[in-house]
Amino acid sequence: MSPPRALPMYFGAAERLLFGWLHRPATPAPGRPGLVICNPFGYEAVCAHRSLRHFAEAAAAAGVATVRFDHDGTGDSAGDDRDPDRVGAWVAGVRHAAAALRAHATVDNLFLLGVRLGVMIAALAALEGEEAAGLIAVAPAISGRLHLRELKALQMALGLGEPPPGAEAPAGGQEAVGFLVTAETREALGKVDLTKLDRAPAPAALILDREDLPTADKWAARLREQGADVDARRVGGYVEMVLDPHKTVVPVEMIASTMAWIQGRAAAAAAATAAATAAPTPAPGPAATPTSEARLHVVDGTDVIERAVFADPARLLFGVLSTPATRAPSGHGILLLNAGAIHRIGPNRLYTVMARRWAALGHTVLRLDITGIGDSPPRPGEPENVVYSPRALEDVAEALAFLQRQPGVGDCRAVGLCSGAYHAFKAAVAGQPVAGVVVINPLTFFWKPGQSLDYPAHRVVGDAERYGKSAADLEKWKKLLRGQVDVRKVAQTLSRHLARRLTDRARDLSRRVGMPWREDLGAELETIADRNVDLRFVFATGDPGLPLLRAQGGSAVPALRGRGQLAIDMIDGPDHTFTPVWSHPQLINVLAVVLDAPTRPSR
């Protein structure tokens, strides 16, 4: 029998609510095991989201009641990176999650599963009183100090530039791939070393160490010295589960090993309990329904209400709806669409931050997972984790209809980055009821299923522009003459670019004489403008979307800009997904101006 659908829930201290998912089994396994899943930190948590959902679903199918959740200040939970006592709040959050699991499911044997930094947090929670039958450690971060060094090295490897004039890097903190580790958090983490703990956090541990870079041998030996029953293995799967979200691979072998270990430990505990007492095991009581609404303190003491919602009758489209708690509704609804395969929190958690700020101003904001992404299951017969889903327009239409049914909402705008930009734009082209669209760093305007990413249009345009700039660089010519340049690759790129330019000009000419082609960006731009839909593009300087817009939009782009029907904003310095922390307020400020602008009356 399949387990029931997972339930979204808020739990924990009323003034500091956490968000998570409750996965209840159809029939509990022997020993009635329960599992709390503890996320890694920052970008690893974003990438691992899909795999940890599969861990939880497999656990429920195996009879293990499970909670997976966002640590305090992360994901959909309250707070942010800059709040005080991050480590203490994270440890307390594990205990809140365990309490929520026991409140909504019958659990006799609790297990804690952590990934990377989540292992450290789970171990500390167990030592502080959260009695656990076992600890599952996936690629554990053993030393806080070493983990911080790894985060620093990864940040440096990105090669991000310095902030431009007027933008300031966060003082006193360490950037970690779009997230911030404050000086206080650095100090607290630097004091933690699992090999130096006074006692084992649990009587048994399953350590799933990395095959390529194992780090847990010393900790495993220490746990055995402390009397723990340790099963330490080197298994593959971790690297693949934390690839960029659209590339992640679910670690099937790792999940199966974990479930078998939990079931075995719980069954043994149940047998030992039965042998020690003749009393019958009480039957589980009725399952309580967890709360799906939270009141959060966000900006300058202003509260917002957040609700976990399904935007469609089939309960496929999951999202988080943010609304003002005390301020009168502005009349504006805002739909935030997934950036690639990143779930609804957005890249670097930007969507969560923006939604709460906008709700504090009176807007109604829906952060949506399109079907197959994040926590929205795919439609029947469809695969998951497809970024440019052919069903995305249906998802957007249902989400917009849901938004328009909310109290006080008069008009809606669609906002998205990368693939979310594409889906927002196409919704406007299709005539869906949007008063405006904000298209942030799009990488394509025409996507076909199975389309190769080897030489998509944006790469051809971007490479050709770089080669054009190199033509005026004497050093580049010297490299060419020394044979240090792949002449064949350059020639192929330039020939593709020339062919595309000729095609773009032919398309532009055909539109001018009233014979538009089937895939004509200029015609689509004019269609949106004719409907009086506010159309704005936002680009990071150097992102390939702008030259692509100019090339494929042709004469329509300057014409519409001249008439005030198309706007373009540039933000100097960030990468495609606005990874640098200093760039976050710049993007938020640009969008604040856009979303506060009055809408034009529709025709």
Q: Mean pLDDT in the chain? A: 89
Give the mean pLDDT of 114-122: 98
Res 492: pLDDT = 57
The per-residue pLDDT for 171 is: 79
343: nearest Cα among 48, 35, 19, 5: 48
CATH of the domain spanning 293-451+518-596, picked from 3.40.50.2300, 3.30.565.10, 3.40.50.1820, 3.90.850.10 = 3.40.50.1820
Under 8 Å CB-to-CB from 264, ≥6 apart: which residues? Answer: none
Average pLDDT over residues 105-122: 97
With a cut of 50, say whether residue 465 has pLDDT above it.
no
**Is residue 4 over pLDDT 90?**
no
Q: By mean pLDDT, which of 40-44, 482-486, 593-597 is the weakest?
A: 482-486
- Residue ranges, comma separated, of all CATH 3.40.50.1820 domains in the chain are 7-143+199-275, 293-451+518-596
Return d(Cα 520, Cα 544) in angstroms, integer. Answer: 19
The per-residue DSSP string of 250-290 comes to --HHHHHHHHHHHHHHHHHHHHHHHHH--SPPPPP-PPPPP
Cα distances (Å, whole numbers) of residue 435 to 40, 260, 367, 528, 548: 39, 52, 18, 10, 24
Question: Phi and psi for 438 in degrees, rounded to 5?
Answer: -120, 115
Q: Are 227 and 221 in contact (CB under 8 A)?
A: no
Is the predicted pLDDT of residue 426 greater than 50, yes or no? yes
pLDDT at residue 595, rounded to an integer: 74
Lookup result for tokens 């489209």: 317
Q: The pTM is what?
A: 0.89
Most confident of 164-178, 294-308, 373-387, 438-452: 373-387
Say yes or no: domain 7-143+199-275 is CATH 3.90.45.10.
no
Least confident of 196-200, 243-247, 281-285, 519-523: 281-285
The answer to whether residue 463 scores a pLDDT higher than 50 is no
Choose between 467 and 150: higher pLDDT. Answer: 150
pLDDT band at 195 (very low <50, low <70, confident <90, very high): very high
pLDDT band per the 50, 70, 90 thresholds, residue 196: very high
Give the amino acid at 218: K
Instruction: Work out the pLDDT band at 57, boundaries 50, 70, 90.
Output: very high
Exposure string for 307-334, b = 16+ CB within 10 A, e = fewer: bbbbbbeeebbbbbbbbbbeeebbebbb
pLDDT interval class at 504 (50, 70, 90) = low
Q: Cβ neighbours of residue 581 under 8 Å, at least 6 residues apart?
A: 169, 170, 173, 175, 178, 179, 180, 348
Give the model's pLDDT for residue 486. 56
Q: How confident is the model at residue 468 (pLDDT cuts 50, 70, 90)?
A: very low
pLDDT of residue 494: 46
**What percent of the chain is predicted at pLDDT more than 90?**
77
278 against 166, higher pLDDT: 166
- Which is it for the CA torsion 391, 397, 401, 404, positive or negative? positive
For residues 172 and 493, the model is more confident at 172
pLDDT at res. 478: 46
Stronger pLDDT, 297 or 37, i.e. the higher one:
37
pLDDT in tens, 306-322: 999 999 999 999 999 99
